[in-house]
């Protein structure tokens, strides 16, 4: 009974006493209940935001049963996260896997309704510990229909603009919060050393220094940490910001031949010099969580690496947020996956992983971990460390005070302001690799006023291809129905003079090109969408009909080729035919950013953040290597003047 009601009830009963209607012992019982209630209200220190952080953590932790503690360590997929499950198993976190949505083309309001429904299950538990909901937001809020899709990291690294990257983090946080979600599995701070890796587009650069600079997205996502903050303490500045996740710890971009989830062979000094620096920067900036990599370091799985997870990350770098596994990450400690789950849990949790992305078969995980703790296979102190870190993040970000979504932010999703920011990011991420058959006769910028121009290529009118993997679904997709945005073809039509005729032909033959008397052609081709292992490629060729389109068009007329790719690809065989060549990477939903540069509204400024190879036989090849003979070196990029008045 609430304290106010107890006092009111006592007043009524005491009045009755005066009338002789109630016994004195009952009054004493009521007084005792009142005192107990008052003492309890004062004793729940963890619910008081004015209490110091460590006091709240300590108070809550000592109240928790083993069952409640282990529940906090579990992250499950939204498709199995009913309110009843959250309440029964005390689940600490929920996620959306790639493409996992409440319904097709769900609105922000629909997302909020789902997240709040799950949260209500958590809040109905004995201690009322709120859950934290995580989602991949690796280039904007990429799972969500109508969200602003920013260029992938491979393009953002080109900008070398930490201020821009911070703004993107801020915009992404608002769009994520607009759907009621509080936690993002971003940024990826991998240092991709081999473009054959299917996740290379998630990496800002082959250069650790650029990747370090791009960690400025973290204060964008989380807010600016104060100068006097203790190193390693996570920081999230309220309900308009999200908890961030530096991933994938550590060395995921250095695997042999770029094979995803494979082995990174590098010395300890090499690991610290190439792959570790951005983690140090992330921790200084208050990153809340770190995700462990599927990959191995010199043969040892990172999910089982106590030295790097506990001794180095937690103890040496003083990281005080929580460490999370990747999707079924501990299962993959063994080969085949899940073949010795008890062992995987023992070494994974023992290595220092605090939250386990299960994501479906959570009861098995809970049962095994509970057995291991009760039988002293895993010490309770390791469980307490994990839960302490999870609670620290939840307290810091204000989840206990504001567990539910703020409906007032729904208009932030795909807002015009964010789309203009993405358009700016596209402009700054493009790299001009060639401009004219000779320097004296540049092709770009293109004239807006011409009799007739040709737009060709598989990627010219395909928003899905333009955005790449991790867009609405895990692997991405083709076509223009995936989400809302502007294709490059539409952007061309918007940019040119109204008198200029635009002819679009996806894959014209040379006779068509020669017989139509075009002033010039824009050819937009590239890779098809992929994510993770599905993108691993040992040949890095542009799929057909891309090469045929380049040959047919550029062999017949002046052309600019715009490459939509997640990495450098084989282009040398076609280079002599091409008049102008633009690396546009995976620009996202705002295709006008490409035409802003093609037609001279802005000048090209981007410089390669990756080495562009001549042939795949040269790989891996990175700036600073002894034998460095690229087609276009790291840092290369031509510039153009603007024609705007």
294 near 261, Cβ under 8 Å? yes
Instruction: Give me the catalytic one of 206, 326, 354, 527.
Output: 326
3-state secondary structure of 617: helix
142 near 472, Cβ under 8 Å? yes
- Is 532 one of the annotated active-site residues of the chain? yes
CA-to-CA separations, 302 to 160, 362, 565, in angstroms, rounded: 30, 22, 29
Instruction: Give me the catalytic one of 170, 194, 281, 532.
Output: 532
Let me know if 484 is exposed, middle or buried by CB neighbors in 10 A (0-12, 13-18, 19+): middle
User: What CA–CA distance (Å, rounded) separates 293 from 303?
Assistant: 7
Beta strand segments in 97-234, E: 132-135, 183-184
Q: 341, 382, 395: which is closest to 50 by C-alpha?
A: 395
Tokens 């983690």 map to which residue?
A: 279
471 near 529, Cβ under 8 Å? yes
User: What CA–CA distance (Å, rounded) separates 481 from 521?
Assistant: 26
DSSP string, 415-461: -HHHHHHHHHHHHHH-EEEEESSSTTS--PSPPS--SEEEEESTTTT
401 near 49, Cβ under 8 Å? yes
Angle at 334 between CA 330 and CA 337, to 5 degrees: 75
DSSP 8-class letter at 473: B
DSSP 8-class letter at 632: B
User: What CA–CA distance (Å, rounded) separates 223 from 240?
Assistant: 9
The values of phi and psi at residue 357, to 5°, are -80, 100
Q: What is the largest CA-CA distance in the chain?
A: 110
CA-to-CA separations, 592 to 223, 403, 418, 420, in angstroms, rounded: 29, 38, 14, 10
Question: Is the preceding omega at residue 445 within 30 degrees of 0, hence cis?
Answer: yes
User: What CA–CA distance (Å, rounded) separates 445 from 639?
Assistant: 10
- Is 175 one of the annotated active-site residues of the chain? no
587's CB contacts (< 8 A; 6+ apart) are 151, 155, 426, 429, 430, 466, 467, 564, 593, 594
Q: State whether the Cα torsion 66-69-75-79 is positive or negative.
A: positive
User: What CA–CA distance (Å, rounded) separates 153 from 248?
Assistant: 14
Q: State whether the Cα torsion 400-406-412-413 is positive or negative.
A: positive
The catalytic site residues sit at 326, 532
């Amino acid at each position: 009974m609430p304290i106010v009601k107890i006092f009111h009830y006592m007043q009524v009963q005491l009045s009755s006493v005066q009338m002789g209607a109630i016994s004195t012992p009952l009054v004493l019982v009521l007084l005792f209940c009142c005192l107990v209630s008052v003492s309890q209200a004062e004793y729940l220190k963890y619910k008081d935001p004015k209490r110091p952080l460590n006091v709240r953590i300590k108070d809550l932790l000592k109240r928790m049963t083993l069952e409640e503690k282990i529940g906090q360590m579990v992250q499950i997929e939204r498709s199995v996260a009913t309110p009843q499950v959250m309440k029964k198993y005390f689940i600490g976190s929920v996620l959306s896997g790639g493409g996992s949505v409440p319904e097709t083309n769900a609105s922000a309001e629909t997302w909020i309704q789902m997240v709040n429904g799950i949260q209500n299950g958590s809040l109905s538990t004995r201690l009322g510990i709120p859950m934290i909901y995580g989602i991949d937001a690796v280039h904007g809020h990429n799972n969500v229909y109508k969200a602003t899709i920013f260029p992938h990291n491979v393009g953002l690294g080109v900008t070398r603009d930490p201020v821009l990257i911070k703004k993107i983090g801020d915009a992404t946080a608002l769009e994520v919060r607009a759907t009621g979600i509080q936690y993002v599995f971003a940024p990826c701070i991998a240092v991709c050393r081999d473009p054959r890796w299917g996740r290379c587009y998630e990496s800002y650069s082959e250069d650790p220094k650029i990747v370090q600079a791009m960690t400025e997205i973290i204060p964008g996502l989380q807010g600016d940490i104060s100068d006097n903050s203790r190193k390693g303490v996570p920081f999230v500045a309220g309900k308009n910001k999200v908890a961030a996740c530096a991933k994938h710890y550590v060395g995921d971009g250095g695997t042999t031949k770029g094979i995803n989830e494979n082995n990174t062979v590098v010395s300890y000094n090499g690991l610290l010099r190439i792959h570790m620096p951005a983690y140090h920067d992330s921790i200084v900036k208050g990153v809340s969580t770190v995700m462990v990599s599927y990959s191995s370091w010199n043969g040892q799985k990172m999910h089982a690496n106590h030295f790097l997870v506990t001794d180095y990350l937690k103890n040496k770098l003083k990281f005080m947020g929580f460490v999370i596994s990747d999707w079924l990450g501990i299962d993959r400690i063994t080969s085949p996956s899940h073949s010795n789950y008890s062992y995987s849990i023992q070494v994974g949790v023992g290595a220092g992983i605090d939250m386990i992305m299960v994501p479906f078969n959570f009861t098995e995980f809970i049962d095994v971990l509970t057995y291991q703790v009760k039988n002293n296979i895993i010490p309770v102190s390791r469980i307490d460390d994990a839960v302490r870190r999870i609670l620290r993040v939840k307290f810091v970000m204000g989840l206990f005070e504001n567990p539910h979504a703020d409906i007032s932010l729904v208009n932030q999703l795909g807002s015009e302001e964010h789309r203009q920011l993405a358009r700016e990011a596209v402009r700054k991420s493009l790299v001009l690799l060639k401009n004219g058959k000779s320097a004296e006769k540049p092709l770009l910028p293109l004239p807006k006023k011409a009799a007739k121009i040709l737009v060709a290529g598989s990627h010219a009118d395909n928003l899905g291809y333009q955005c790449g993997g991790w867009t609405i679904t895990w692997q991405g997709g083709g076509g223009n129905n995936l989400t809302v945005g502007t294709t490059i073809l539409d952007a061309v039509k918007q940019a040119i003079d109204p008198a200029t005729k635009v002819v679009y032909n996806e894959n014209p033959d040379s006779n068509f090109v020669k017989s139509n008397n075009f002033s010039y052609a824009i050819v937009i081709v590239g890779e098809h969408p992929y994510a993770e292992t599905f993108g691993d490629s040992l040949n890095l060729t542009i799929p057909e009909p891309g090469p045929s389109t380049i040959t047919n068009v550029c062999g017949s007329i002046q052309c600019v080729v715009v490459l939509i790719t997640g990495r450098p690809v084989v282009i040398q065989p076609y280079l002599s035919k091409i008049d102008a060549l633009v690396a546009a990477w995976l620009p996202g939903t705002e295709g006008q950013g490409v035409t802003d540069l093609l037609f001279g509204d802005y000048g090209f400024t981007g410089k390669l953040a990756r080495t562009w190879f001549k042939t795949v036989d040269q790989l891996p090849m990175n700036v600073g290597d002894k034998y460095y003979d690229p087609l276009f070196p790291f840092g290369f990029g031509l510039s153009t003047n603007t024609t705007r008045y």
